[in-house]
């Protein structure tokens, strides 16, 4: 395997977030925006006068098809390195796995695992996921190429990267490798320990949705509950205001004519709203906006917190008596689209499909086509709103979500359902059976219901942070962090210390 390794000398590239904003895509753009904000802050803090503070970038030559020994095609996979805290060659290696997006230099400079590295004398490496960011194989994103995109391929990359980087940095054979990851990458971290326990000593899996599910209606169940939570600024009135705002949107859509035209302008919908499928795109994007306020509540870079959203919907301030929930929702749309640099909240369904069919890699690094392919062939994760408890419109429905798999990739609903079942069979769903894995979740995060929130044994532990949002434990520390978050991070560090002591003991017995 060829390895390229050079110092990072450029500035952080902030990606443009223009483009189609299907419901799932909006959530992912929010996540990308928050990640970039936090990475930019991390780099601002990490770039001191000494060159040793600079993260470094390297490239690994990886096999396109690691499961076929006769196929020698390869691609370059990007990784980042922070070696300023590495105390010795037999010190621990913290491997931060990338997920369904670009991975920047800030991934090894701030937040965990970087925050944990000084006390542990660890080398921190982050590995960008194949087919995302700049780790896209030559040849584009057509179906012939995308068949090499899966969690299993990503885990094979982890194995080969682990072996290649050990040689490159002359890592001792007794050094414990500990994986970290958040969201989908958190699942990868847990699965890396599950499938390759001889190479990965332990894993911290944050907000990891290890159970694949076709119809993810539970997402909006958690959103509804969180909107009522006083601990994060929600209330029964706020939950009712959300329903009222969506009812008003639906009323104007049904009315048509001037009311519909005004709605289109006020809520930044690009294209006509005359088609039912385009109305569903708008309603889905609005749901994603509210869901995003819950999912990323209280995080640096998030356009809206639950407290702020509720304030808008309930008309806080002097004009409360004249305000309406719809006006508050309209203001929320303006804030989010401005923060993301988007001119539109939603596009026509036809434009969304056309964009997803494009086989050219996206400059933005968000990877909409790639992630849709993974949901169609492995995970599902389709957020729906079809039961009476859902505070939104009764859209989107599952058939319209599955229809994207068929329109874009020619994959039938039956094949998607079978793929979800196979994923759970292969990894074990919410009972994966891996030891030395710590699952970390926040109970505000809608994704925690697909993760492991209770210990499954003495060595498969779980931590549920009250009022914690998606991957909040991975974010850089802030003075405003809640006591429960601070306690959660201390518990993660204590678990890490326990593992490292265990590794030391194993070294003496020659087991690592």
In tens digits, the chain (512 residues) has pLDDT values of 555 554 433 333 333 233 333 567 788 888 888 888 877 765 665 443 334 467 899 999 999 999 999 999 999 999 999 999 998 889 999 999 999 988 889 899 988 899 999 999 999 999 999 999 999 999 889 999 999 999 999 999 999 999 999 999 999 999 999 999 999 999 999 999 999 999 999 999 999 999 999 999 999 999 999 999 999 999 999 999 999 999 999 999 999 889 999 999 999 898 789 898 899 889 999 999 999 999 999 998 999 999 999 999 998 654 454 569 999 999 999 999 999 888 888 888 998 899 899 998 875 557 899 999 999 999 999 999 887 778 888 776 899 889 999 999 999 999 999 999 999 999 999 999 999 999 999 999 999 999 999 998 777 899 999 999 999 999 999 999 999 999 999 999 999 999 999 998 776 555 55
The beta-strand segments (E) located in 389-447 are 437-442
Residue tagged active-site, from 96, 129, 448, 470: 470
User: What is the per-residue pLDDT for 317?
Assistant: 53
Domain count, the chain: 2
Q: Specify if 135 maps to a domain.
A: yes
User: What is the per-residue pLDDT for 16?
Assistant: 29
Contact at 8 Å (CB) between 290 and 242?
yes
Handedness of CA 211, 217, 219, 221 (dihedral sign): negative
CA dist., res. 262 & res. 352, Å (int):
22
Quick check: is 473 catalytic? Answer: no
Find how far residue 342's CA is from the centre of its chain.
20
Residue 152 shares a structural domain with residue 261: no
Q: What angle do CA 41, 29, 141 make, to 5 degrees?
A: 115
> Distances in Å between the alpha carbon of 267 and those of 253, 341, 392, 455, 480?
12, 15, 16, 44, 32
Residue 234 shares a structural domain with residue 306: yes
Q: Is 316 left (phi over 0), alpha (psi -120 to 50) or beta?
A: beta
3: nearest Cα among 55, 76, 74: 76
139: domain CATH number is 3.40.50.1820
> Distances in Å between the alpha carbon of 45 and those of 53, 55, 85, 111?
10, 12, 16, 12
CA dist., res. 385 & res. 116, Å (int):
39
Q: Give the domain extent around 280.
A: 220-366
Residue 199 shares a structural domain with residue 249: no
Residue 190 shares a structural domain with residue 240: no
Q: Specify if 258 maps to a domain.
A: yes
Last residue of a domain, one of 314, 332, 366: 366
Q: Specify if 492 maps to a domain.
A: yes
Residue 199 shares a structural domain with residue 90: yes
pTM attached to this predicted model? 0.92
At 72, give phi and psi (nearest 5°): -100, 10
Residue tagged active-site, from 150, 183, 224, 461: 183
Last residue of a domain, one of 326, 343, 366: 366
User: What is the per-residue pLDDT for 14?
Assistant: 31
Tokens 């009323």, residue?
Answer: 251
Which residue pairs, CB below 8 angstroms and at least 24 apart, start in 459-466?
459/435, 460/432, 460/433, 460/434, 460/435, 460/436, 461/437, 461/495, 462/438, 463/438, 463/439, 463/488, 463/491, 463/492, 465/440, 465/441, 466/231, 466/442
245: nearest Cα among 308, 305, 321, 324: 324
User: What is the per-residue pLDDT for 224?
Assistant: 94
Residue 204 shares a structural domain with residue 127: yes
Residue 197 shares a structural domain with residue 282: no
> Distances in Å between the alpha carbon of 41 and those of 162, 304, 489?
29, 19, 20
The first and second tokens of residue 307, run together, are: 């407290």
278: nearest Cα among 395, 446, 448: 395
User: What is the per-residue pLDDT for 50?
Assistant: 39
3-state secondary structure 63-123: ECCCCCCCCCCEEEEEEEEECCCCCCCCCCEEEEECCCCCCCHHHHCCCCCHHHHHHHCCE
Quick check: is 183 catalytic? Answer: yes
209: nearest Cα among 226, 186, 181, 179: 186
Q: Specify if 406 maps to a domain.
A: no
CA dist., res. 498 & res. 492, Å (int):
10
Last residue of a domain, one of 332, 349, 366: 366
95: nearest Cα among 110, 78, 80, 111: 80
Residue 201 shares a structural domain with residue 321: no
Residue 233 shares a structural domain with residue 302: yes
Residue 229 shares a structural domain with residue 112: no
Residue 176 shares a structural domain with residue 230: no
The first and second tokens of residue 90, run together, are: 């037999």
Q: Specify if 38 maps to a domain.
A: no
User: What is the per-residue pLDDT for 32?
Assistant: 84
Q: Specify if 6 maps to a domain.
A: no
CA dist., res. 437 & res. 431, Å (int):
12
CA dist., res. 199 & res. 188, Å (int):
14
**Residue 4, Cβ density class (10 Å: 0-12 exposed, 13-18 middle, ≥19 buried):** exposed
User: What is the per-residue pLDDT for 263?
Assistant: 93
Determine the 3-state secondary structure of 406 from DSSP. Answer: helix
Q: Specify if 438 maps to a domain.
A: yes
What kind and span of H or E run contains 126?
A: strand 123-127
The first and second tokens of residue 306, run together, are: 């639950």
CA dist., res. 138 & res. 74, Å (int):
9
320: domain CATH number is 1.20.120
CA dist., res. 108 & res. 207, Å (int):
19
Residue 69 shares a structural domain with residue 202: yes
Which residue pairs, CB below 8 angstroms and at least 24 apart, start in 68-74?
73/137
Q: Specify if 354 maps to a domain.
A: yes
Quick check: is 346 catalytic? Answer: no
């Amino acid at each position: 395997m060829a390895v390229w390794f050079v110092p990072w000398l450029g500035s952080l590239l902030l990606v443009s977030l223009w483009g189609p904003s299907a419901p799932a895509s909006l959530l992912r753009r929010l996540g990308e925006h928050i990640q970039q904000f936090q990475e930019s802050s991390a780099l601002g803090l990490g770039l001191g006068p000494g060159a040793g503070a600079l993260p470094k970038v390297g490239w690994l030559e990886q096999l396109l098809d690691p499961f076929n020994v006769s196929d020698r095609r390869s691609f370059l996979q990007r990784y980042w390195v922070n070696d300023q805290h590495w105390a010795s060659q037999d010190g621990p290696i913290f491997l931060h796995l990338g997920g369904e997006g670009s991975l920047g230099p800030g991934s090894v400079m701030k937040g965990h695992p970087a925050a944990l590295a000084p006390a542990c004398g660890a080398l921190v490496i982050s590995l960008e996921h194949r087919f995302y960011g700049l780790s896209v194989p030559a040849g584009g994103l057509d179906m012939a190429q995308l068949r090499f995109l899966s969690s299993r391929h990503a885990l094979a990359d982890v194995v080969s990267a682990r072996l290649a980087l050990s040689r490159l940095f002359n890592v001792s054979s007794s050094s414990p490798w500990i994986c970290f990851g958040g969201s989908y990458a958190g699942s990868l971290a847990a699965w890396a320990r599950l499938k390759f326990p001889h190479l990965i000593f332990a894993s911290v899996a944050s907000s990891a949705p290890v159970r694949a599910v076709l119809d993810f209606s539970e997402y909006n169940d958690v959103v509804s509950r969180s909107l009522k939570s006083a601990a994060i600024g929600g209330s029964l009135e706020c939950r009712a205001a959300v329903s009222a705002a969506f009812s008003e949107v639906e009323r104007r859509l049904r009315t048509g004519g001037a009311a519909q035209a005004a709605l289109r302008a006020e809520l930044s919908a690009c294209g006509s709203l005359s088609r039912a499928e385009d109305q569903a795109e708008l309603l889905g994007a609005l749901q994603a906006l509210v869901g995003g306020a819950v999912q990323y509540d209280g995080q640096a870079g998030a356009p809206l917190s639950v407290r702020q959203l509720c304030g808008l919907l309930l008309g806080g301030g002097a004009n409360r008596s004249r305000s309406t929930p719809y006006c508050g929702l309209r203001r929320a749309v303006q804030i989010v689209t401005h923060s993301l640099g988007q001119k539109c909240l939603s596009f026509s369904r036809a434009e969304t499909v056309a964009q997803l069919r494009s086989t050219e890699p996206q400059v933005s690094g968000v990877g909409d086509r790639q992630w849709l392919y993974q949901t169609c062939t492995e995970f599902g994760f389709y957020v729906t709103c079809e039961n009476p408890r859902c505070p939104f419109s009764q859209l989107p429905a599952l058939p319209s979500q599955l229809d994207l798999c068929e329109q874009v990739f020619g994959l039938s609903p039956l094949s998607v359902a079978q793929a979800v079942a196979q994923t759970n069979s292969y990894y074990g769903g919410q009972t994966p059976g891996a030891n030395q894995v710590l699952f970390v979740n926040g109970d505000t995060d809608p994704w925690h219901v697909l993760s492991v929130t209770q210990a499954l044994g003495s060595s498969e532990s779980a931590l549920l942070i009250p009022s914690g949002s998606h991957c909040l434990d991975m974010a850089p520390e802030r003075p405003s962090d809640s006591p429960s978050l601070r306690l959660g991070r201390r518990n993660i560090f204590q678990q890490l210390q326990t593992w490292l002591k265990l590794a030391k003991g194993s070294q003496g017995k020659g087991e690592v």
